[in-house]
Amino acid sequence: MASSDRRNQRALRSNYEIGSSFWAVRRAQWRAMGLSDEDMEKPKIAVINTSSELAICFNHLDHVAAVVKQAIRDAGGLPFEVRTAAPSDFIHSAGNAGKYILPSRDLITNDIEVQVEGAQLDGMVCLASCDKTAPGQLMAAARLDIPTIFAICGYQGSGHIGEEHVDIEEVFLGAGHHAMGAIPLERLKEMSEKAITSSGVCSGMGTANSMHTVCEALGMTLPGHAPVRASGGGMLDNAAEAGKRIVDMVWEDLRPRQILTEAAFENAVRSVFAVSGSINTIKHLQAVATEADTDIDVYGMYERLMDSSPVLVAVRPNGESSIEEFDDGGGARAVLKNLGALTRTEAMTVAGKTLGETLNGWEPPTDTVKTAEAPLSDKPAIVLVRGNLAPDTGIIKLGLRYDRKLKVTGPAVCFSNPIDAIEGLKAGKVKAGDVLVLRGLGVRGGPGMGMASRVVFAIEGAGLGEDVAVVTDGQLSGLVNKGLVVGEVTPEAHGGGPLGLVRDGDLITIDVLARRVDVDMDDAEMEARRAALPEVGHSGQRGWLSIYEGEVEPLSRGAVLIPPRD
């Protein structure tokens, strides 16, 4: 298509009337940067880069950005690299008890809005990497609704100690074992030295690879792009394809809200079940739906679809398949193909075709991803529960492990932070048959939603993984697949939620098959305890967490920072 025809098809929002004040000052700045008047007439594309030297998830992204920018130039566009925060769970959890992690997602979203919307750029290529970057970028795409495509920036290589495979999940679990004296420090050090062999996100089916799968299932990547090795040439080839495609998307005016439909969200939810993905996908997808100004209830969608969504692949830590085998077997594309009639093929994608059109005639190259007719399991990998302890929801990650205890009743042992819980474990305060309650970690109570994972792994390290259940309003790493854990309980304990009313010794029942989590307490006692709670005050946090505390919405809205519509 000739450039004049393209201009007739879509006017660029980044261009201003010649002679206007905006045109003049923008021209003065950009001419001084070496841009020509011809450049200024091209589609102006933001390349959203979370490059950082702080974490292995991001330290390769400058090279990816360079490839994307060149592809945009070659396709007739004008790229502008835009930097945002680059949070890594394993690095940024060190400060403030891990409370920066979830709020960093929304910082990314708002950072993108300021830079892209403020400059009125025409489109975006988002370099998706670690756990919070993909959801933050998806939220920005949904909010701004300008042509956007995702370039998946790959997973890291893992290593070996002799013949034994070791990756970041083993290190994380090993740290919990070491905390309980189950393995020596030298062993943990050796694991940490061998676990990671290249740049990229965690190699298991944690939140990062789950969200990369979600990006493709939503239609926001080109087909066959997730997952991908960060150390291989395929990632750069994909990035170049994305850079080329975004220019045509601008001329076509193909925008995220045309793609992020109910059908797309249903495909994303089905794909999470199929790969036994991270429970963090639920709040992130709800946040994207909220930012897209839709009425889609993602939590309700998970509940509605869970009993009819089979598990098709079991990537570590869910099973023995490696992420490389999933990649080589077709990845997200194979999942969407093999779900068969469960896939909403009418959903639009960034390719400018429906999902059905992109899948037509393509077959997975291996049988790593099973079919819906012959799945690994026909039981849900994730179960949403309710009850008087979680009136809104609680989430249990089961994966393929239906051989664990599915109904337990035990006395509560309550803790208000992970450190106290681990010290309580060491001191023998938690015994087989107990239900460990870890609370005060919700989005307001944190503020910022604290991480409960290390407590789960410490329980495992203490040899109590099969005998001590956990109920928490905190979040869990996507790599956690141990024990019986009810996570992200809502309402959270902060502000009078039922979890905050539980006392040591109260009997808690978790019944997976009945989809219930309850405390043996009648309504009158619950109200009496709520009335006796001290008035909730400000946490005393300053800076970004203070802003987050005052503005964050509940998990039912994805913990976004935008108020409900009137």
Query: Looking at the predicted structure, is the pLDDT value of residue 364 above 60?
Result: yes
Q: Name the pLDDT band for 6 (thresholds 50, 70, 90).
A: low
**Helix (H), strand (E), coil (C) string for 201-220:** ECCCCCHHHHHHHHHHHCCC
Query: Looking at the predicted structure, is the pLDDT value of residue 490 above 90?
Result: yes
Query: Looking at the predicted structure, is the pLDDT value of residue 418 above 50?
Result: yes
Give the DSSP per-residue string, 144-173.
H-S-EEEEE--B--BEEETTEEE-HHHHHH
Residues 71 and 243 sit within 8 Å (Cβ to Cβ): yes
List, for residues 373-401, the tens digit of each pLDDT value: 999 999 999 999 999 999 999 999 999 98
Q: Name the pLDDT band for 5 (thresholds 50, 70, 90).
A: low
Averaged pLDDT score across all residues of the chain: 94
Mean pLDDT of 257-264: 98
Residue 282, classed as helix, strand or coil, is: helix
pLDDT at 426: 94
Q: Which residues pair with 385 in a beta bridge?
A: 394
CATH 3.50.30.80 residue ranges for the chain: 382-534
| Number of residues that this document lists for the chain | 566
pLDDT at 1: 43
Give the DSSP per-residue string, 103-140.
HHHHHHHHHHIIIIIHTT-SEEEEEE-STTHHHHHHHH
Query: Looking at the predicted structure, is the pLDDT value of residue 537 above 90?
Result: no
Mean pLDDT of 219-227: 98
Is the previous residue joined to 447 through a cis bond, with omega within 30 degrees of 0?
yes
pLDDT at 60: 97
pLDDT at 192: 94
Q: Does residue 232 or residue 187 have the better pLDDT?
A: 187
pLDDT at 22: 82
Q: Are strands 407-415 and 507-511 parallel, antiparallel or unpaired?
A: antiparallel
Active-site option among 3, 51, 477, 539: 477
- Single-letter residue type at 333: R
**Helix (H), strand (E), coil (C) string for 363-428:** CCCCCCCCCCCCCCECCCCEEEEEECCEEEEEEEECCCCCCCCCEEEEEEEEECCHHHHHHHHHCC
Task: Give the integer Cα–Cα distance in Å for 450 and 490.
Answer: 14
Task: Give the integer Cα–Cα distance in Å for 149 and 147.
Answer: 7
Tokens of 404: 């664990």
List, for residues 422-472, the tens digit of each pLDDT value: 999 999 999 999 999 999 999 999 999 988 999 998 999 999 999 999 999
Let me know if domain 382-534 sits in CATH 3.40.50.720: no
Which of 91-100, 277-286, 380-389 is the least confident region?
91-100
* Helix and strand totals (H; E) in the chain: 23, 14
List, for residues 187-204, the tens digit of each pLDDT value: 999 999 999 999 999 999
Task: Give the integer Cα–Cα distance in Å for 208 and 468.
Answer: 28
Task: Give the integer Cα–Cα distance in Å for 161 and 242.
Answer: 37
List, for residues 104-147, the tens digit of each pLDDT value: 999 999 999 999 999 999 999 999 999 999 999 999 999 999 99
Give the DSSP per-residue string, 40-102.
HTS-EEEEEE---SS-TTTTTHHHHHHHHHHHHHHTT-EEEEEE-----HHHHTTSGGGTTHH
pLDDT at 408: 97
Which of 12-21, 30-39, 42-51 is the least confident region?
12-21
Query: Looking at the predicted structure, is the pLDDT value of residue 480 above 80?
Result: no
Nearest to 85 by CA among 56, 48, 60: 48
To the query of whether residue 308 is one of the catalytic residues in this protein, the response is: no
Nearest to 405 by CA among 499, 471, 482: 482
List, for residues 294-312, the tens digit of each pLDDT value: 999 999 999 999 999 999 9
Mean pLDDT of 63-88: 97
First to last CA, the chain: 43
Which of 9-13, 171-175, 507-511, 524-528 is the least confident region?
9-13
